[in-house]
Amino acid sequence: MEYNLNDIVEMKKQHPCKKSNQWKIIRMGADIKVKCLGCGAIIMFTRRDFEKRLKKVIPQGENAG
């Protein structure tokens, strides 16, 4: 699956804040840093772990924030 910086993605598991299941990619490299669009929490994943947890990339016209 292809994703880039500033893309909005949906993960397999919902964030505990229950406000949103969508995340914005804010940093990419060996690790990927994402920000919850519901509460603003920032989480860093290894690229391998991120790809395992990624459900889909949201097209730009459909994102909530």
Among candidate residues 30, 19, 24, the one with its CA nearest the CA of residue 4: 24
Work out the burial of residue 34: count CB atoms within 10 Å of its CB; fewer than 13 is exposed, 13-18 middle, 19 or more buried.
buried
- Give dist(CA 39, CA 20) in Å, integer: 8
Q: Per residue in 13-60, pLDDT tens?
A: 888 888 888 999 999 999 999 999 999 999 999 999 999 999 999 987
The model carries a pTM of 0.84
Residue 62 pLDDT grade (very low, low, confident, very high; cuts 50, 70, 90): low
